[in-house]
Chains A and B, each alone.
Chain A
Amino acid sequence: MKYLIVIIILLIQLSSCFNKTHDRNLIEGELISKVNLKIGKISLDSFYLDSTSTSFIGTLHVYHDNIIMVDNQFCWVFRFDRNGKLISRNIGQGDGESELPCRKIDAYVLLPNGEHMFFGPSWDVYIFDSNFIKIADYRIDWHPRGNKEYVGLHPDPSDPIMYSATFGLQQIRADKKNVYLPLYSQHNLFNPIVETYSKQARVIGEMDFKTGDVTKIFGRLSPIYQQNKSVRIFSYLHYDLIDDDEMAITYPVDSVIYIVSRNFSLKRKFGSAGKSMSMNYQVIKEYNKISSTWSKESKSKGYYTSIDFVKQRNLLFRSYQKSGISLVDGLQIYKFDELIADVDIPKKCKIIGYIKPYFYISKGPDEISGNTKLFRFQLPL
């Protein structure tokens, strides 16, 4: 009996330690701030992708020697060579065997083995092999614990039923087994405007892409969201996978880059603030203003827009928007924990990949001009 009581006490203590680690995780640890600017400027070479019948709503990716353009509206996948010459047009919207039956693509993930994964608007998922043959389709199983009626009145931040994926704001990443979905909650009683959200909200869902099971939800917003109410309109994160265990995390309003394990325990943190980033965002008190306020503030204020790890060169890139009427955005380059460059790039551009010897950046297809412009550059490292 004595032993049983001791074990119970130990378990309770362990459990409280575990919760504490998650709440305080990102606050702890020393912030490394090494700056050694080896590159002052990058020389950009520009080119356009071949003209195609696209909606100009979509994303760009790099796989091996090819540039992939995914058309979210028409569900086409275009493959181009490294210079932008069209190689093939595949898939498309429709009910055929090798077509996508969804009305539009909400998100696309290029799996490490070259398979193509598409998320439709109703948690529907489709996987095509590298030859664009459909090999799987299913719906995401979030494994909710509560039902909608109960959770509607009793929000539980640890229940997956509380969350949706923030498709469209960031690149979705996958390893050999899982896809990592960025999460947010729109619950009336638990959303970014609510005080407890910044501390308790889970921000990533791990989904087994063979089965569609969301096996866990984890991660938190950075401590800055607890300290500053005005940043809460940016309550999401960007991430990339470094290796089998590590993830690099950046938040739109936090200059710190966090390297965490797949269970979100902090390994190290580093980073320097970008240049010309005014971050005095408007404070809002009503959740229904969040979307329109984000839309307005994200046009003119500074914030971090992506984080990308280029494995072939072991370099970490973070892009950011400068505030005001700046004609350029910024791109930081980190080698290990050290900032080695903070250079200007064209507005809204982000890293899309690396084809030796070039790094490719683009803002994606441009509906207004009706073309897709890419830039590439080399780094003397």
Chain B
Amino acid sequence: MKTMILNYSLLLGFVILFSCKGKLKSNSKILSLAANSNNMPILTLLNKRIELGKVKKDSSVTGKYYFVNTGTKRLVIESVNPDCTCTGFYLTKNEIESGDTSCLLLKMSTKNKEGDIHINATINANTPTRFYKVSLSAEVIN
């Protein structure tokens, strides 16, 4: 049983990793931005807001946020802080070379929630801007 859970976890990890990478590799516009940056890492978010619409109560929902290092130095994600204890996160990698991509996955529980919900998460990186925000919204129904 333990092996089965481990296998499923690994599989899930790979699916997330490759789904993020696949989408980003095709985005040539973003890669071209790397050339414009000065001697520093730059975090460019490809999507910041996800609206999930109606979701069921007592379930869990996820949002994926893709970003690319459009600077010339290595980008380091120092922390990710969702503003609700109901939300966990997974980062495909927290050190991103110039031109490379990563993906942040937020997983929110709708347990004991009802109506409109809006969760923000702050990404803290080694860039001049330092902080970035992504958000996840949904309407929880019974």
Contacts and interface: CB of A to CB of B under 8 A. Distances in A.
Interface of A: 53, 55, 57, 73-74, 76, 92-94, 103-104, 121, 288-289, 291-293, 295-296
B124 interface: yes
A327 to B, nearest CB: 22
Contacts of A74: 122, 130-131, 133
Contacts of A292: 114-116
Interface residues of B, number: 12
Interface in B68-120: 81, 83, 114-116, 120
A55 B122 contact: yes
Q: Is the interface of B mostly helix, strand, loop or mixed?
A: strand
16 contacts: A53-B130, A55-B122, A55-B133, A73-B120, A73-B131, A73-B133, A74-B131, A92-B131, A93-B124, A103-B83, A104-B122, A121-B83, A292-B114, A292-B116, A293-B115, A295-B115
B27 interface: no
B129 interface: yes
B139 to A, nearest CB: 9
B131 A93 contact: yes
A296 B131 contact: no
Contacts of B129: 53
A296 B115 contact: yes
Interface string B43-67: 0000000000000000000000000
Given A53-B129, A74-B133, A76-B131, 6 more contacts: A53-B131, A57-B133, A73-B131, A74-B130, A74-B131, A288-B114
Given A73-B120, A93-B124, A104-B83, A55 B131 contact: yes
Given A55-B122, A57-B120, A291 B115 contact: yes
Given A53-B129, A92-B131, A73 B122 contact: yes
Contacts of A289: 114
Nearest to A288: B114
Contacts, number: 45
Interface of B: 81, 83, 114-116, 120, 122, 124, 129-131, 133
Given A55-B131, A74-B131, A93-B131, A103 B122 contact: yes
A55 B123 CA distance: 11
Nearest to B78: A94
Nearest to A71: B131
Nearest to A76: B131
A292 B122 CA distance: 25
Contacts of A121: 83
A73 B83 CA distance: 8
Nearest to B114: A292
Nearest to B116: A295
B114 A93 contact: no
A46 to B, nearest CB: 26
Nearest to B135: A367
Contact of A55 (B114, B120, B124): B120
A94 B131 CA distance: 11
Nearest to A102: B81
B81 A103 contact: yes
A54 to B, nearest CB: 9
A54 B8 CA distance: 39
Which residue among B81, B115, B116 has the maximum number of chain A CB atoms within 10 Å of its CB?
Answer: B115
A122 B130 CA distance: 24
Contacts of A53: 129-131
Nearest to B83: A104
Nearest to A94: B124
Q: List the 7 shortest-distance A-B pairs measured between CB atoms, nearest first.
A: A292-B115, A74-B131, A55-B133, A53-B129, A103-B81, A292-B114, A104-B83
A74 B116 CA distance: 23
A291 B122 contact: no
Contacts of A57: 120, 133
Contacts of B116: 292, 295
